[in-house]
Structure 1
């Protein structure tokens, strides 16, 4: 018999609809039941593509005997962390405070009927193993603890609430200058953690750290730091050779369980691939290595084929498991591959993808990775590299067709505003850098769909599922979407984009911004009241929403000259400045925003018959984030141009202006004089301050 999760929109919650556990979705009904029956709440947070979430479900939640204990002792609540990142943030922090260990998924927390956490963990096995107690043993201990300490746990001034309140930063009341010392601290930190053999930062398990890679590429572009470029290119190249990259179908898995990037945790997340697509485009622009642009093309091919809805927005994730086994869809038997390919193909492919070596996945199967390069195989087989490539390409097509007949991993088909905004921005940015019009068109289609279907009565919805948007959007949703819309403006100006960007920014200021201390809360003023309102500045699996808001407001302020945007960005950077200096490794995106603030790139406006030629020429030496805008009549009617420019607008000759907001340097009547103004911008920008 199905429980209350059957009608939920989340595929993850619906996965648990047939459990014998009497699950509730998060809401008043569950907590009222807990209060009336004087029971604690068991809160289980996970997501559809999570392997260990499936393991705990199979071991415990599907067993009637364990479900009976859960139902007798607790009110049980299931939460999809992707739909409710606010709850996940709060209770992950609480878990760390209570257990003094890092959190993860599944997250298993025990709460009072007032939502206050008092105990917790992550994965618990059904029977004692891995040094962990059995789940029923945990449930019985928690029941007894709550019964014996209920009065103390229900106090309004519970210490955990005080600890959570202390996690939000406090503004420094002293005056100080923002400088770039956090940038140098970050680079030194990355150098100290860099793996010079296999790339990446730190040991196993090894995550892509896409924000760090993009930061390092941008640092090379801005400062010529060859060490930064080396760390980023070595890492991206090693990931592409490794098994974290799907050599048959494309796309990156979430992370590698080993230091060499060989065996992944197989789930594929939309946000990871969005962030890595941007890093690949930056890598291609910095190194000119064709492997990065080819990998970007294969990634987008996977995205359009497997993750795009008919409306041009993107699904959330592909599961790690199929048929109850992690990685089953992706791994092969060597003889299986031999039977699919010709002898000529197999001789090359077996060595290229490591099939001639012992099995590398749980000692019984092979997960493909680049064991030998095309150049090495060319020498070994005395064949041209083009012949080796041809055999590998042919084999890959056959393997793809064969693999497509298998039972596919589960698809989480909900549409998340924040993740779609990240992908829209990545498609627009990489399309602009790599000259891919189809990608730019796709990125704009995503933005336009979100504007039409997820923007309701002047506010954004966080999730679109079952043909309806729902849940008020969070800081990340607004901030990432603002950056995506600004990226659309960089390609070519549409008045509706500027209007949408200002509407998003205005909601950020009215609903999320803290005018007293600076910074943006993760939830808006009108959001459901919870036990804590986080205001985090550090990156997690996603870039910091606070940092993204700063970047977006700085650029929008530069475009429009609207001081409240740049003022909020300035105050937010000051709020997190001490943390950037003390913990640079967690603040990569905020430090990138600090550099945007410090560099203060101009807006270049062009008009006249050769405007497009000038645009293509000057972009070569500009920061990739700079705006170069053709002053069409639509632009002139939308942007707050200086009055003198409006009155004396040149109609028949090409002219350029270097501007910040509503202030511009004198017009440049030749491409050479415009380039000279840009060369001198670090000095001349003070004239417009």
Structure 2
């Protein structure tokens, strides 16, 4: 019979609804059962696209013997980390404190009935192997410890809660006048030291894309003219795009590379990774004209619209992820046998495809399969086969079309179709920005459909909800939901002004201050003031796979504050920087989002408004200014004059003779109107394109 998960909307929880384990979702019923029965809680946190979550489920949670032990000794709670990042954040931190190493998924934590963790790990096999204890043998020992070592557990819990509290920023760093560029320079130095000069990216295997850090490096070129910073970005993006991290046939990026070379990934595709990489590739193309980057953006955006967006009848929101596994085997959907490829192609196609994709080399996946990567350039394979570049590219294109057609006949990975507000906000910004740069109105419309869906479905009674699936929107939204959504609206406003978007942005900013701001110490809590009480209320500023909510909140509030001359928003951003200043000074490269906000406070953004009656000339000015938007806010469409809520300083006013002119404001200071594009580009520090091989 189904357990307590049967009524949930999360695909991850529903994957476990028929387990013999008596799973509960996190909530009052489970927590009260633990108290009433004096049983410890077994908390299992994962997500639907997670390979090792599936492995542990098949080995243990679907096993009646293991389930019987779990049911006898524990109240078992299953959490989707994508729906409940608040719970995941707390217990990942607890795992790190208890085990002195990072966590991950599946996260397996054992709690007292009052939610305090006393033991934990990540993946446990059913029987002991590879140095890991067996789950079946571990469970009764933990249950026994809970009942026989109460005093030890209470003492450990006290120390753990103190450690978690000490990890939070304190109000001792509220002197805003002490802020300087030093952390920005320090972060840049750290990133140059961490950079892999040979293969791109930062650090060693496993290697993650780090789009937030790469965006910070791109700013170093855009603002400081560091050509090495642009090299770091272009080299990394090129290596990722040519490697197995990128889906060479269908577009889009996988989660991370298991090796240093970007060759073999973990095969899940996450919305947020692609949302952050999409504008990064587009903006880097803007500076370099590299056709590879344009190709990556085009294929990825088209894949998003085709495979990861609900149709118009369903609202147009973006889905969360594609599973790593198909037919219970990781990567099976994506890998190839050499003979299959050769049989599908003409001899001319295979002569190019084999050296291009590495099919003429030893297998790169489990010693018997090939995961496609571009091991040579088109120019190299063209020269080796003595054909021209155009013909070689055509053969590669036809190869990709044929192989993709074959792949679509396979059993595909499962798609998690829940729509998360925060991840949608990242993708809305990514699609809109890419659409702006490449003048693709279909991508911009895709973003607008998604924001309209969020506003219609997940904005209820002046508050955001975090997740939607099966016609049900629920769960109080988190800091990331508000901050990311506010940020993406500011991008949309620059591309196609809609009064509804400006109104929505103001409502979000006001609710952010009302429900999340720490009025005493500064900064923003991850959960709202009326959120469920948990053992900790995090206030984090460091970036992870996604940018920090506090960093994006500070950036967006600061920009909106200057745009609307709203001092409340500016003050909240200033206090956020102040509360985190000591932390980002010590660990600079982990705080790139906050450092971007710091940079824009020290050197206020340039807000540019264009006016005039010659639409062709206006569009030419907007296009010329696009590189400026790497480090500033451009209000390309003027606010209509009749809109009373628009700030007076930025209302659109057509000049009498229709001449194209620009008004530039830097912080609270505005320059006289400018009628020379050359002068405007100098003021906005627009660099020319650089050719990067």
Which of 625, 628, 631 aligns to 2:635? It is 628
Change (3 A) 1:637 1:607: farther
- Counterpart CA distance in 2 for 1:93 and 1:679 is 42
Asked if the contact 1:4–1:23 (Cα under 8 Å) also holds between the matched residues in 2, the reply is yes
- Verify: 1:360 aligned to 2:364, yes or no: yes
Q: Distance in 1 between matches of 2:161 and 2:150?
A: 16
SS of match in other structure, 2:109: strand
Which moved further from structure 2: 414-423 or 306-315?
Answer: 306-315
Equivalent position to 1:342, from 332, 340, 346: 346
The one of 383, 388, 392 aligned to 2:392: 388
Matches within 5 A, 1:448-527: 448-527=452-531
* Residue 640 (structure 1) aligned with residue 647 (structure 2): yes
Distance change >3 Å, CA 274–CA 608, structure 1 → 2? same
Tell me the distance in 1 between the aligned counterparts of 2:345 and 2:410.
17
Structure 2: 5+ residue stretches without partners = 687-693
Distance in 2, Cα, partners of 1:620 & 1:159? 52
Which whole-Å CA distance do the structure 2 matches of 1:673 and 1:246 have between them?
43
Structure 1 SS opposite 2:6: helix
The answer to whether the aligner puts 1:417 opposite 2:424 as a matched pair is no
- Alignment correspondent of 1:685: none
CA offset at residue 2 of structure 1? Answer: 1.5
Q: Which is bigger in relative contact order (C-alpha 8 A, separation at least 6)?
A: 2
Task: Report the equivalent of 1:427.
Answer: 431
Q: Deviations over 1:263-298 (max 9, x none)?
A: 000000000000000110111012111110111000
Q: What is the CA-CA distance between 1:667 and the residue it aligns to?
A: 3.7
**1:8/1:22 Cα in 2 relative to 1: closer, same or farther (>3 Å)?**
same
Deviation sequence 1:98-125 (CA, Å, 0-9, x none): 1111100000000011011111000001
Aligned length: 678
Q: Which residue of 2 aligns with 1:264?
A: 265
Cα 1:279–1:620 shift into 2, 3 Å: closer
1:214–1:282 contact (8 Å) kept in structure 2: no
TM-score normalised according to structure 2 size: 0.94
CA pair 530-337 structure 1, distance change in 2 beyond 3 A:
same
**Does the CA-based 8 Å contact 2:176-2:574 persist in structure 1?**
no
Deviates more, 1:356-365 or 1:417-426: 356-365
The CA RMSD measured in Å over matched residues stands at 2.1
Aligned to 1:686: none
Match 2:550 to one of 539, 546, 555: 546
Further displaced range: 112-121 or 355-364:
355-364
Report the Cα offset of residue 55 of structure 1. Answer: 0.5
> How has the CA–CA distance of structure 1 residues 678 and 63 changed in structure 2, closer, same or farther, with 3 Å as cutoff?
closer
Does the Cα contact within 8 Å between 1:333 and 1:366 map onto a contact in 2?
yes
1:590 to partner: Cα distance: 1.3
Aligned positions of 1:238-249 closer than 5 A: 238-249=239-250
Look up the match of 2:170. 170
**TM-aligned CA deviation for residue 666 of structure 1:** 3.5
Cα deviation for residue 621 of structure 1 reads: 6.1
Mark the CA change 1:339 to 1:156 in structure 2 (over 3 Å): closer, same or farther. closer
Deviation (angstroms), 1:605: 2.7
Moved more, 360-369 or 150-159: 150-159
Tell me the SS of whatever aligns to 1:362.
Answer: coil
Tell me which moved more, 4-13 or 143-152: 143-152
The answer to whether the Cα contact below 8 Å between 1:493 and 1:635 also exists between their aligned partners in 2 is no
Distance 1:285 1:412, change over 3 A: same
SS at match of 1:142: helix
Greater Cα offset, 177-186 or 511-520: 177-186
Aligned to 1:2: 2
Q: Which of 585, 589, 592 matches 2:593?
A: 589
The answer for unaligned runs of 5 or more in structure 1 is 681-689
| Deviations, residues 319-342 of structure 1 (Å, cap 9, x unaligned) | 000111000000011111111112
Residue 326 (1) aligns with residue 333 (2): no
Does 2:21 match 1:21?
yes
Q: Which residue of 1 is the match for residue 691 of structure 2?
A: none
- Give the aligned partner of residue 689 of structure 2: none
Shift of 1:351: 1.4
Q: CA deviation at 1:425?
A: 0.4
> Residue 558 of structure 1 contacts residue 602 of structure 1 at CA under 8 Å; is this kept in 2?
no
Q: CA deviation at 1:177?
A: 2.7
1:441 equivalent in structure 2 = 445
**2:12 counterpart residue number:** 12
* Residue in structure 2 matched with residue 561 of structure 1 by the alignment: 565
Q: CA deviation at 1:170?
A: 0.7
- For the residues of structure 1 that align with 2:36 and 2:146, how far apart are their CA atoms? 15
- Are the aligned partners of 2:207 and 2:262 in contact in 1 as well (CA < 8 Å)? yes
Hey, what does 2:112 align to over in structure 1?
112
Secondary structure, aligned partner of 2:543: coil
> 2: distance between equivalents of 1:260 and 1:102?
23
Q: Is the 8 A contact 2:628 2:685 kept in 1?
A: no
Equivalence for 2:671: 665
